[in-house]
Amino acid sequence: MNFDHLTLSEIPATDEELRPAIRELITAHIGSMPLHKRARTWMGGDAVFSRAMGKAGFLGLTLPRKYGGAERGPLARFVVVEELLCAGAPVGMHWIADRQSALVILKFGTEAQREKYLPRICRGEMYFCIGMSEPGSGSDLASVRSRAERTENGWRLNGQKVWTSGAHHAHYMIALVRTSGEPADRNQGLSQLLVDLKAPGVTIRPVPDLNGDHDFNEVFFDNVELPHDALLGEEGAGWSQVTAELAYERSGPERIYSSAVLLDAWIQHVARQPQCEARQRLIGSLTAQLVVLRELSVAVTSRLAAGEQPVVEASLVKDLGATFEQSVPTLIADDLASHPEESVEPELWHAIMTVTHIAPAFSLRGGTREILRGIIARGMGLR
Ligand SMILES: Cc1cc2nc3c(=O)[nH]c(=O)nc-3n(C[C@H](O)[C@H](O)[C@H](O)COP(=O)(O)OP(=O)(O)OC[C@H]3O[C@@H](n4cnc5c(N)ncnc54)[C@H](O)[C@@H]3O)c2cc1C
DSSP result, 50-70: HHHHHHTT-SSTTS-GGGT--
Distance 363 CA to ligand 1 centre (A): 9
Cα dihedral 45, 83, 288, 299, rounded to 10, equals 100
pLDDT at position 4 is 56
Nearest Cα residue to atom 45 of ligand 1? 370
- DSSP, collapsed to helix, strand or coil, labels residue 291 as helix
Helices (H), the chain: 13-16, 19-30, 35-38, 47-55, 74-87, 95-96, 102-108, 111-122, 238-250, 260-271, 277-305, 311-337, 346-362, 369-379
pLDDT at position 75 is 95
Give the integer Cα–Cα distance in Å for 200 and 228. Answer: 16
| Ligand 1 atom nearest residue 139's Cα | 29
Nearest Cα residue to atom 52 of ligand 1? 365
Amino acid symbol at 373: R
Question: Which residue of 365, 382, 383 sits with most ligand 1 atoms within 8 Å of its CB, as the best mutation to test the pocket?
Answer: 365
pLDDT at position 15 is 97
Nearest Cα residue to atom 22 of ligand 1? 138
**Strands 190-196 and 154-162, bridge-based pairing:** unpaired
Nearest Cα residue to atom 37 of ligand 1? 139
Other CB atoms closer than 10 Å to residue 199's CB: what's the count?
Answer: 15
| Ligand 1 atom nearest residue 364's Cα | 53
Q: What is the DSSP letter of 273?
A: S
pLDDT at position 3 is 54
pLDDT at position 249 is 78
Residue 245 near residue 26 (C-beta atoms within 8 A): no
Distance 344 CA to ligand 1 centre (A): 36
| Low-confidence residues in the chain, pLDDT < 50 | 1
**pLDDT (tens digit per residue) in 75-86:** 999 999 999 999
Distance 11 CA to ligand 1 centre (A): 33
- With vertex at residue 301, the alpha carbon angle to CA 295 and CA 307, rounded to the nearest 5 degrees, is 145
Query: What residues pair up with 216 in beta bridges, in sequence order?
Result: 207
Ligand 1 interacting residues, C-beta cut-off 6 A? 129-133, 138-139, 163-165, 361, 364-365, 368, 370-371, 374
